[in-house]
Amino acid sequence: MSTILPLAEPLPRRAADPRRAAHEANKLAKRLRHQVGRAIADFGMIEDGDKVMVCLSGGKDSYTMLDVLLQLQKKAPVSFSITAVNLDQKQPGFPEHVLPDYLRSNGVDHHIIEQDTYSVVARVVPEGKTMCSLCSRLRRGALYTWAEENGYNKIALGHHRDDLVATFFLNLFFHAKLSGMPPKLLSDNGKHVVIRPLSYVREDDIARYAELKRFPIIPCNLCGSQENLQRKQVKRMMDAWERESPGRIETISRALGDIRPSQLSDGKLFDFLALGRRGDATADAHGWLAGEPHERDD
C-alpha cells in the first residue's frame, strides 16, 4: 500500500530586509545622479551662473528631475540657481495646495503661475478630440514668458529616455520625418535654451524612484484621460518590444546619438550629387533621368 505524504507547509514569507531595500534605493539614486550628470556634461546643459527654471507638473518625471538636480547642485563644481515653477491651469478639482506645500516643506525656491488655460482648451477643442497639442502650446507659452520676464536662461523639462524614443517614432510613423526630441534646444523664438536632464534615464527607474521617495503625484485629468492618442499607440509598441527583446529601447536611444547622414537619403545633409562626380557634370545634367524636358544644343 502506497503511503500518501502530506504536502509541505509553505514557508512563511520573509519580511523585506530594510537594509537590502535601503541599499537598492541608494543604488537607484546613484544611477540617476550619474545619468543626469552625464547628460548635463554631454550636452553642456548647465554652466556657471545659470538661472535654471525647473518646470514642475506634479508628475513623477518632473518630481524626479527636481530632486536629482537639487542633489547635484550641492556638489557641482559650478554655481547655478534652481527655481521650481508650476503652471496652475485651473483644471476642475486640481489640488492647488499639494505642490506649494511639498516645495515649502523641502525648502525649495518656487513660484506658481496661475493662468486659466483649461477653459481655453475646453472651449476651442471639440469634444472627443485630443487636447494635448493646444494644451502644451499654451502651457509652454506661459512658462516661457515667465522665464523671460524673470531672467531665467535655462528651462528644464522632465522628458526622459523613453519620451525621446517615442517622439522619434511618432514623427516617423505619423509625420514621415526623422526627427525627435533633443536633449537641448533653442526655442523657436531664439530666446530660451530648453534642457532635458532626464534624457538618459529609463521611465521604469523614474517610476521606482518616485515610489521610493513618496512624491505627492498629481494626475493630469485633462489629457491623461484621453485613451486613443498616437503616443499611447507607440508606447504599447515599445512596451511589447521591450518584453520580447529586453534592451531594445536602450539600443534605439543610443542610435539617436549616432546618425550617419551618408547612410540615409537626405540631400540637404549629405551631398549625394557630388559623390563620384566626374569633370564638369552638374545636377541639371541628370534631369532627363527624372523625366524633365531637356533641349539638346544643335
Which residue ranges are tagged as binding site for [4Fe-4S] cluster?
Answer: 132, 135, 223
Phi (first) and psi of residue 88, to 5 degrees: -85, 105
d(CA 37, CA 46) in angstroms, rounded, equals 10
Amino acid, res. 228 = N
Write down the residue that cell numbers 517614432 correspond to: 169
Q: For residue 129, how many C-alpha atoms fall within 13 Å in the half-sphere facing its CB? A: 11
Residue numbering of the annotated binding site:
132, 135, 223
Q: Is 62 helix (H, G, I), strand (E, B) or coil?
A: helix
Q: Measure Cα distances from 107 to 84, 101, 102, 110 in Å.
A: 11, 10, 9, 9
Which residues make beta-bridge pairs with 186? 193
- What are the cell numbers at 255? 542610435
Q: Is 99 helix (H, G, I), strand (E, B) or coil?
A: helix
Q: What is the DSSP string of 249-282?
A: HHHHHHHTT---GGGS--TTTS-TTTTT--TT--
